[in-house]
Amino acid sequence: MSATSAEHASEGIAVAAERRWAIIVVFIIGLLVLMMIVMALHWAAMPPSRVETVDVKTVHIKGEFVESNLGTVLEPDGKVTVRLIAQQYSFVPQCIVVPEGMPVTFRGTATDAIHGFVVGRTNANTMLVPGFVSTFTMTFPKAGEQLMPCHEYCGTGHEAMWAHVQVLPRDDFLAKARSGERMSCVPR
Ligand code: CUA
């Protein structure tokens, strides 16, 4: 083989390799774009999951968020639910009791403006929007007292709007909880 034909051969190999890579790269880009299109259409076509509405005008007088139903309840099936409402400028109840190490489902709404809350440095964090029920479930890993400030600007009293959360050791919580009864740590 002469020098030139060897050069031609190696150039041919290089070109073939580059073409192969170009095809792979174009295929990967095409796949990613296709994923984006499918996801975008999927989300645009589906309503946000679990949208629950509640009538702001009657939220205080009937249904799930009447005052006597707010607070923490140990459901007959052993699940723990916390119901609360936010209004300018407080949460009801002002002090919330939850157990350590058990899943707790929060259900909340607002009566006037958009509020929100975060419990200490945990992932318990949501917005409360008038007319809608916000819900999430989480487990508090450690017993102790946490602050729960409103984190959506809701008016002049916003920075004074917060509640307490008492995370009780599981046994203490279960000893206190009577099935079906609403609990809170608001001093009476
Ligand atoms: Cu309520 Cu800020």
Q: Is the pLDDT of residue 180 over 80?
A: no
Give me 100's structure tokens: 């350590």
Residue with CA nearest ligand 1 atom 1: 115
Percentage of residues in the chain having pLDDT higher than 90: 74
CATH superfamily ID and name for 67-176: Cupredoxins -  blue copper proteins (2.60.40.420)
Q: Which residues contact 188 (CB under 8 A, 6 or more apart)?
A: none
Q: How far is the CA of 149 from the centre of ligand 1 (A)?
A: 8
CB 172 within 8 A of CB 97: no
- pTM recorded for the entire structure: 0.74
Q: How far is the CA of 91 from the centre of ligand 1 (A)?
A: 9
CB 76 within 8 A of CB 180: yes
Q: Is the CB of 107 under 6 A from ligand 1?
A: no
CB 42 within 8 A of CB 32: no
- Taking CA atoms, 8 is separated from 11, 13, 14, 157, in Å, by 5, 9, 10, 79
Q: Is the pLDDT of residue 46 over 70?
A: no
Q: Stretch 171-177: mean pLDDT, rounded?
A: 91
| Strands (DSSP E) found in the chain | 71-74, 80-87, 90-92, 95-99, 103-110, 115-118, 125-128, 134-139, 144-149, 162-168
Q: How far is the CA of 56 from the centre of ligand 1 (A)?
A: 17
Q: Is the CB of 161 under 6 A from ligand 1?
A: yes
pLDDT at 178: 77
Q: How far is the CA of 143 from the centre of ligand 1 (A)?
A: 26
CB 149 within 8 A of CB 44: no
Q: Is the CB of 87 under 6 A from ligand 1?
A: no
Q: Is the pLDDT of residue 43 over 80?
A: no
Q: How far is the CA of 112 from the centre of ligand 1 (A)?
A: 10
Q: Is the CB of 164 under 6 A from ligand 1?
A: no
pLDDT at 1: 52
Ligand 1 atom index nearest CA of 157: 2
CA-CA-CA-CA dihedral for 83, 88, 89, 95, to nearest 10: -10
- Taking CA atoms, 158 is separated from 86, 151, 152, in Å, by 11, 8, 8
pLDDT at 47: 62
Q: How far is the CA of 57 from the centre of ligand 1 (A)?
A: 20
Domain definitions of the chain by residue range:
1-46, 67-176
Residue with the two structure tokens 């318990």 = 124
Q: Which residues of 140-177 are buried (b: 16+ CB within 10 A; e: fewer)?
A: beebeebebbbbbebeeebeebbbbbbbbeeeebeeeb
Q: Is the pLDDT of residue 172 over 70?
A: yes
Per-residue model confidence as pLDDT tens digits over 99-158 = 999 999 999 999 999 999 999 989 899 999 999 999 999 999 999 999 999 999 999 999
Q: Is the CB of 115 under 6 A from ligand 1?
A: yes
Q: Is the CB of 152 under 6 A from ligand 1?
A: yes
pLDDT at 177: 87
β-bridge mates for residue 110, sequence order? 86
Average pLDDT, the chain: 91
Distance CA 39, CA 31 (A): 12
